[in-house]
């Protein structure tokens, strides 16, 4: 109970920092900054984003309880699913259905393993029809799928990453404080997890075959970065990591040398999630695979142009 109280005290402090203007950070700027384009604004409190192979973008409105869809030729986002209780992370299934986390709230997460009430919806991205894929998770903030078909869900207000495999829920499959955005390495051996409410902004590396093996992959100890608030996470084809620093108002890139830099600064906008597009072609319609897409807590959907393949 004391440990839980300390975590919530840290959360209160960080939310206080979130309400203040973003402070200067010690993480240096990357060598080249991409052009930032606003695709949509005023969409609520956006939590997560993901792209499909046709250049369409899907993103969740945490406060509004919505899953939204921006078509490759759409002028405005469309509501695909409404009435979701605190929608969180997103990931694709092999059959083309979309998993959407629900219960992404402090009230749900604070129960941890005592009375877990979060879960995952399996959504048809064409029609919006859905079924419950899994229930009894602790939060489902960040969500991703592993090479063996397992689905991982984070809890940034608690301790633990949950796993769903063959319909069975394993709570706190890996023990990690304040896990948030998740991404699996290109070799399928490591689960990267951003950590939000910790003393130093960090990304952990969890062995998928030996979950007790948790190592620090990246951390910054400079006091200027203390309230960066690392959130959504993704990677490129070279295992470079991209993470939303929501309180810092920036998107960071972490190279394979484990050095970080600020790819884009958006203060006072608080980025919440990042995802690469997947559409190909010289002039792809919709979300191109070289571009990074960013959601913000202020309701913006942003495009960072030609990020994939950039040198440090």
pLDDT given at position 307:
95
Average pLDDT, rounded, for the chain? 89
Residue 22 lies in a domain: no
Average pLDDT estimate for 171-184? 97
Number of folded domains that form the chain: 1
Average pLDDT estimate for 37-51? 96
Residue 57 lies in a domain: yes
Does residue 156 surpass a pLDDT of 50? yes
Residue 312 lies in a domain: no
CATH of the domain at 289: 2.120.10.30
Does residue 172 surpass a pLDDT of 80? yes
Residue 23 lies in a domain: no
Residue 227 lies in a domain: yes
Residue 102 lies in a domain: yes
pLDDT given at position 103:
96
**pTM summary value:** 0.92
For 257, residues 6+ apart whose C-beta sits below 8 A from its C-beta are none
How would residue 312 be classed by pLDDT, with cut points 50, 70 and 90? Answer: very low
Average pLDDT estimate for 195-212? 95
Residue 73 lies in a domain: yes
Does residue 310 surpass a pLDDT of 60? no
pLDDT given at position 285:
63
How would residue 223 be classed by pLDDT, with cut points 50, 70 and 90? Answer: confident
pLDDT given at position 194:
98
How far apart CA 228 and CA 245 sit, in angstroms, is 5
Domain membership of residue 254 as a residue range: 31-304
Residue 2 lies in a domain: no
* Least confident span in 23-27, 148-152, 299-303: 23-27
pLDDT given at position 5:
41
């Amino acid at each position: 109970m004391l440990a839980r109280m300390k975590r919530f005290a840290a959360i209160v402090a960080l939310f206080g920092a979130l309400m203040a203007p973003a402070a200067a950070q010690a993480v240096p700027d990357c060598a080249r900054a991409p052009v930032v384009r606003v695709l949509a604004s005023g969409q609520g409190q956006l939590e997560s984003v993901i792209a499909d192979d046709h250049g369409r973008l899907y993103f969740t409105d945490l406060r509004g309880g919505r899953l939204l869809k921006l078509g490759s030729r759409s002028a405005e986002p469309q509501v695909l699913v409404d009435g979701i209780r605190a929608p969180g992370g997103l990931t694709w299934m092999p059959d083309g259905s979309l998993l959407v986390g629900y219960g992404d709230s402090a009230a749900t997460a604070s129960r941890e393993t005592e009375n877990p009430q979060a879960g995952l919806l399996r959504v048809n991205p064409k029609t919006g029809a859905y079924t419950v894929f899994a229930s009894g998770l602790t939060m489902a903030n960040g969500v991703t799928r592993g090479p063996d078909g397992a689905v991982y869900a984070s809890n940034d207000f608690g301790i633990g990453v949950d796993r769903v495999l063959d319909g069975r829920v394993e709570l706190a499959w890996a023990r990690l404080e304040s896990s948030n955005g998740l991404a699996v390495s290109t070799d399928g051996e490591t689960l990267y997890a951003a950590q939000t409410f910790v003393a130093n902004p960090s990304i952990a590396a969890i062995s998928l075959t030996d979950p007790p093996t948790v190592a620090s992959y990246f951390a910054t100890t400079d006091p200027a970065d203390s309230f960066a608030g690392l959130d959504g996470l993704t990677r490129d084809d070279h295992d470079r990591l991209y993470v939303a620093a929501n309180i810092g108002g920036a998107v960071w890139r972490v190279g394979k040398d484990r050095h970080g830099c600020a790819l884009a600064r958006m203060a006072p906008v608080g980025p919440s999630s990042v995802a690469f597009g997947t559409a190909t072609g010289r002039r792809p319609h919709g979300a191109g695979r070289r571009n990074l897409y960013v959601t913000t807590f202020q309701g913006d959907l942003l495009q960072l142009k030609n990020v994939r393949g950039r040198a440090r």
